[in-house]
Amino acid sequence: MKLYSKIKSLFFFLTVLIGSSSLAQNISVHDPVLIKEKDTYYLFCTGKGIKCFSSVDLKNWKVEPAVFPEKPIWTDKVVSDFGNHIWAPDILYHNNKYYLYYSISAFGKNTSAIGVVTNVTLNANDPNYKWIDHGIVVQSYPNRDEWNAIDPNLTFDENNVPWLSFGSFWDGIKMVKLNPDLLSIAQPEEWYAIAKRKNTPLSGGSSAIEAPFIFKKNGFYYLFTSWDLCCKGKDSTYKIAVGRSKSVSGPYVDKEGNLLSQGGGTILLKGDENYFGVGHNSAYTFDGVDYLVYHGYDAKQNGKSVLVIKELKWDSDFWPYL
């Protein structure tokens, strides 16, 4: 009986340990998004030409070809010196195609644009594999716009109408209705401001919020955003906040009922002894399990940005936790 108890205790310890750790192998990413085609997961993230990895178990990852071997031709008209370093993709499957939204920007400015590229498969060995770029969906201009056209996320409402949320710093998170082809803004234009923070000294007087991701669950639209500073290694203060709404366009509120459009947001995850900062998340359901996918600045690796994947759970009031 004593041996049985020891084995049982060890099994419980290992279960807790595995359940509390990331599923992902230690690969370096920023702004990860995931999708599954057949039995393979594909991860896209910020990097030269948009970095891509594949996996069959969410743990071991293989490097795949970049989406853009050369920078999209249209980008020179927006930013001429970004070196094909493309930011914050978003991936979805709709009408038998994969749509991948991406952003380019002059760093620290709202000289930015969001584009979209499509493919019928993500398998680079498939003879039908070919990315087709459709150019600009949304563009922001200094001295005209108070918003910034980066960090896109495409969501469908209950009527299957497509909405693109995006934005960082500047004047918070925006949302605009798209045409059914998912390639352009619908007319007449319909815009919403769905989240904002009060200006803070650490962000240079800007609204330190970015990277929206909307996840439908439990009869709500959950809006995840990232707060404070990323990309600083040990000095990163990134954290993930969440709010929810019954309508895709809001109003979104946090656990205390504060409006996200007026600075509200419930902190879901922040830096700890393992990571200096965590953020720019996405969320998915695969095979009946919900996952939160994000990057964290690993304290054991001097602030290296690594992929983290954890199971996303829900409390009795339908709020997410890890």
108 belongs to an annotated ligand binding site = yes
**Domains of the chain: total:** 1
Query: Known catalytic residues?
Result: 31, 210
CA distance to 34, 35, 109, per residue, from 54 (Å): 9, 10, 33
Query: For position 242, which CATH number holds?
Result: 2.115.10.20
In degrees and rounded to multiples of 5, residue 17 shows phi and psi of: -60, -45
pLDDT of residue 308: 96
- What pLDDT is recorded for position 15? 34
Question: What does the pLDDT read at residue 18?
Answer: 37
Which H helix or E strand runs over 101?
Answer: strand 97-105
- Inter-CA distances, 81 with 71, 75, 89, 273, 276, Å: 11, 9, 19, 37, 30
Rounded Cα distance between 238 and 244, Å, is 20
Provide the pLDDT for residue 16.
33
Tell whether residue 148 is among the known ligand binding residues: yes
pTM of the model: 0.91
Domain with 141, as residue range(s), is 2-321
Task: Give the single-character DSSP code of 316.
Answer: T
150 is in an annotated binding site: yes
Nearest-Å Rg of the Cα atoms of the chain is 20
pLDDT tens, the chain, 322 aa long: 444 343 333 333 333 333 346 887 789 999 999 999 999 999 999 999 999 999 999 999 999 999 999 999 999 899 887 789 999 999 999 999 999 999 999 877 889 999 999 999 999 999 999 999 999 999 999 888 888 999 999 999 999 999 999 998 788 999 999 999 999 999 999 999 999 987 655 444 457 899 999 999 999 999 999 999 888 888 888 999 999 999 999 999 999 999 999 999 999 999 999 889 999 999 999 999 999 999 999 989 988 999 999 999 999 999 999 9
Tell me which residue has tokens 């910020």: 46
**C-alpha closest to that of 304 among 236, 206, 210, 225:** 236
CA separation for the pair 52, 289 (Å, rounded): 23
The answer to whether the annotation marks 168 as part of a ligand binding site is: yes
Asked if residue 151 belongs to a known ligand binding site, the reply is yes
DSSP string across 174-231: EEEEB-TTSSSB-SS--EEEEE-----GGGTTS--EEEEEEEEETTEEEEEEEES--S
